[in-house]
Amino acid sequence: MPASDLTILVIDENAIRASIIEEGLREAGHENVTVVQEVNGIARIIETSKPDVIVIDIENPNRDMMEHLFQLTRTVSRPIAMFVDRSDTAQIEAAMEAGVSAYVVDGLKKERVKSILDMAVSRFNAFSRLQRELAEAKSALEERKVVDRAKGILMKMRGLSEEDAFVLLRQTAMNEKKKMSEIAQSVVTAAGLLM
C-alpha cells in the first residue's frame, strides 16, 4: 500500500500553520488530507473520514475532548497510540518540543507514520521560526524608525548633515557599549522632554 493511501486529519486552530502542514503532506504524496481548525463537529468528521493518523497541536485544550471521543469509539480501528514508537525517544522529544501530538490507528506500520510525524515536526518548527523571524523583522523596523527620528532631531537641533547625525549616534553607541537603537531612543525621549 503506497503512502498516499493513508487518511490524515490535521487539527490546528492556526490556519497558516495548518496550511503549511497540509502542503507538506501533499508534497509527500498524501492525497487524503483533511484540515480542520474548528473542533466543533469533529466527532462527525472522524466518523466519516476514519483517519489513520490525526495530527493535533499540543497547545489545543480540546485534546481532552479527543481522548473522550476515542473512548466512545468502540470500533476496532480506534486511534489510540499517541506516538508511533515509544522507544524512539528522540522523535518523541522532537515532537513535544515542536508542539505536535498525534494519534495513530493501532497496528499501523511504524515506518509509514514516522515520515508523516517527522514532516509535521519540521513544519511546526519552520512555522515557529517564521513567527520568530517576523517578530524580529518587526522590531528591526521599529528600531530603524527610532534611529530615523533621532537623526532628524540631531539634524535640526545641532545643524548636522544626515550622515554626521548617523555617525554621531553610532559613535555614541560604541562609546557607551549600547545598541544604536537604545541611544536613538534616549535622544527621542530627551527631545520629547526638552521641547
Judged by the rule CB under 8 A, the positions of this chain that interact with other proteins are 13, 40, 57-71, 79-83, 89, 92-93, 96-101, 103, 124, 128, 131-132
Residue 103 CB, nearest distance to other proteins (Å)? 6
The rounded distance, in Å, linking the Cα atoms of 195 and 193 is: 6
DSSP state, 82?
Answer: S
Among residues 7 and 62, whose Cβ is nearest to other proteins? 62
Enclosing H/E stretch for 140:
helix 110-158
CB-wise, 70 or 176, nearer to other proteins? 70
CB nearer other proteins, residue 99 or residue 146? 99
CB of 84 to other proteins, least distance (A): 12
CB of 193 to other proteins, least distance (A): 33
CA distance 30 to 21: 11
Question: How far is residue 185 from each of residues 17, 106, 136, measured CA to CA in Å?
Answer: 35, 59, 18
Nearest Cα neighbor of 57 from 5, 2, 11 is 11
Phi, psi of 84 (to 5 degrees): -65, -50
How far is 44 from 73, CA to CA, in rounded Å?
12
What's the min distance (Å) between Cβ of 28 and other proteins? 22
Closer CB to other proteins, 132 or 158, in the complex: 132
Q: Which lies closer to other proteins via its Cβ, residue 1 or residue 90? A: 90
Smallest distance, Å, CB 50 to other proteins? 17
**CA pair distance 79, 72, nearest whole angstrom:** 11
DSSP secondary-structure letter at 54? E
